[in-house]
Chain A
Amino acid sequence: MLYKVCRLYCFTEVDRQDLFQEIVIQLWRSWPAFRREAKFSTWLYRIALNTAISGLRRQHRLITPTDPEQLPTELQDIQYSADKEEQLQLLYAAIDRLTEVEKALTMLYLEDRSYQEMEEILGISQNNLRVKMNRIKDKLRKITKAVAHGIGKS
């Protein structure tokens, strides 16, 4: 899970290693105070996401977040190849164009976390989460088409 968070929030290997180190340090420091009031996974996600989102490390940003309004709407669906690596890269390239908050939501959704657990981790109400997820789904649909066609800023 930690590697996935680092992969989502950092663009270079050096930055990923820095973030991984930072998350491990925070986990180690917070462990003695863990009272089991929340689930272990909730506690783990909170630390990882808090460190990744509010750390705001200076990193070389290779891709800027894309406003879906700027993407062309008339694009054909791509016949995705069976190449698994290519599909994974497409997925990451699409998620890279989301904002930090959207990345967190997407990651938790892809990890099959319930909306209740997402609410406990992020502090956003379940209704608000559903609205945001619908927007993210639309955005990702457009972005994956654009990425596959090689459109977008870098």
Chain B
Amino acid sequence: MELESLKYIWHSLETPPAKVPGRQDLAALLEKRSRGPVARMRRNLIAEAILMFVTYTPAVLCYLLAFDGRLSAISWLFALLAAGFLGYYYRKYRLLKEMECVTCQVKANLARQVKTLKKYVRFYLLAGTAMIPVSYLLSYAIIRWKMPSVFNYPSSPAGQSLYLRLHPIPWWGNPLFWLILMVPLTIGIYYANAWYINRLYGRHIKKLQELLQEMEAE
């Protein structure tokens, strides 16, 4: 069948649907939530941010006010992590906002989606991986600030030796142990994040790239 005869069929035989939506039907449609992938990602992000706010705020307040303020260092740790998370969610939200342009040409929209989604995934991976060393460094900084006596070894070797004999540090208390542990933890988190992100977005990115390649091919 030639395309021209298909054109005839297309124009002359297709009948409009039995029920054309009226104003009320359209208004009801507009009240529903968008099911597009970008809209869903945005909603999930907002839900995550709210959950983070709801869980971190009581933790910050609890450690700040309870125990006569003796554990306020932990509340500072939570507050700093929460601030970091807010920055993280803001960046992701901005990327999602610029991901889609439905009024642009189809090819331009696809290219934009591929580029922005790759940026989004890269940021997600790096931020998720950086969380371990950042938490370590923040904890170290807070302990250094709040409990300086832990680090106040006498300067002379004899003094240090006496100090350690009187205040033996268990193996797990040695900062070097935690520093060494940080390396495999960070590497492990990186690969776990990469696997998870590929599960979430890998197929979508691949499909968008295939569509774009098809449009660009001669």
Residues of B within 8 Å of A43, CB to CB, are 103
| Complex: A29 Cα to B57 Cα, angstroms | 35
Contact of A87 with B107 in the complex, beta carbons under 8 Å: no
Q: Could you tell me which residues of chain B, from 13 to 67, have a CB within 8 Å of some CB in chain A?
A: 13-14, 16-17, 26, 29-30, 32, 34-37
Given contacts A21-B29, A100-B211, A141-B1, contact A46 B106 (CB under 8 A): yes
A130 to B88, CA, bound (A): 46
B181 beta carbon closer than 8 Å to chain A = no
- Measured between beta carbons, the chain A residues less than 8 angstroms from B129 are none
Which of B108-116, B143-151, B155-163, B191-199 forms part of the interface with chain A? B108-116
Nearest CB in chain A: distance from B6 CB, A = 5
Complex contact B102–A88 (CB within 8 A) = no
Would A25 and B29 count as touching, CB distance under 8 A? yes
Q: Report the contact-size class of chain A (Cβ under 8 Å from the partner).
A: 35 or more
CB distance from A149 to the nearest CB of B (A): 12
Q: A22-B34, A122-B215 are in contact. Are A88 and B14 (CB under 8 A)?
A: yes
Q: A25-B30, A56-B207 are in contact. Are A30 and B103 (CB under 8 A)?
A: yes
Do the beta carbons of A88 and B108 come within 8 Å of each other?
Answer: no
CB-CB under 8 A from A21, the residues of chain B are 29, 32, 35
- Chain A: which residue is nearest B8 at the CB level? A87
CB-defined contacts of A109 to chain B, threshold 8 Å: 3, 7
Q: Mark B80-122, 1 if CB is under 8 A from A, else 0.
A: 0000000000000000000011111111111001000000000
Determine whether B218 belongs to the interface, using a CB cutoff of 8 Å to chain A: yes
**Chain B residues near A88 (CB-CB < 8 A):** 9, 13-14
- In chain A between 1 and 40, which residues have their CB closer than 8 angstroms to a CB of chain B? 3-4, 18, 20-22, 24-26, 28, 30, 33-34
Q: Does A128 contact B (CB under 8 A)?
A: yes
The answer, among B6, B7, B14, B103, for a CB contact under 8 Å with A34, is: B103
A87 and B13 in contact, given A46-B104, A104-B106 (Cβ under 8 angstroms) = yes
Return chain A residues, CB-CB under 8 Å to B34.
22, 25-26
* B6 close to A91 (CB less than 8 A): yes
Whose C-beta in chain B lies nearest to the C-beta of A101?
A: B214
Which A residues from 116 to 140 make CB contacts under 8 A with B?
A: 120-124, 128, 131, 136-137, 140
A contact residues around B7 at 8 Å (CB):
109-110, 112
Partner of A33, one of B13, B100, B103: B103
> Which 9 A-B pairs have CB atoms at the shortest separation, nearest pair first?
A123-B105, A123-B107, A144-B1, A110-B10, A50-B102, A84-B13, A122-B106, A101-B214, A47-B102
Additional pairs, 20, CB under 8 Å, beyond known A25-B32, A54-B110, A56-B208: A3-B17, A24-B30, A26-B34, A34-B103, A50-B103, A51-B36, A53-B110, A53-B211, A55-B36, A84-B9, A88-B13, A111-B10, A120-B105, A121-B105, A122-B107, A123-B105, A123-B215, A131-B218, A140-B3, A141-B2
Task: List 13 A-B pairs, Cβ < 8 Å.
Answer: A4-B14, A21-B35, A26-B102, A28-B30, A56-B207, A56-B208, A94-B6, A101-B215, A109-B7, A122-B107, A123-B108, A140-B1, A144-B6
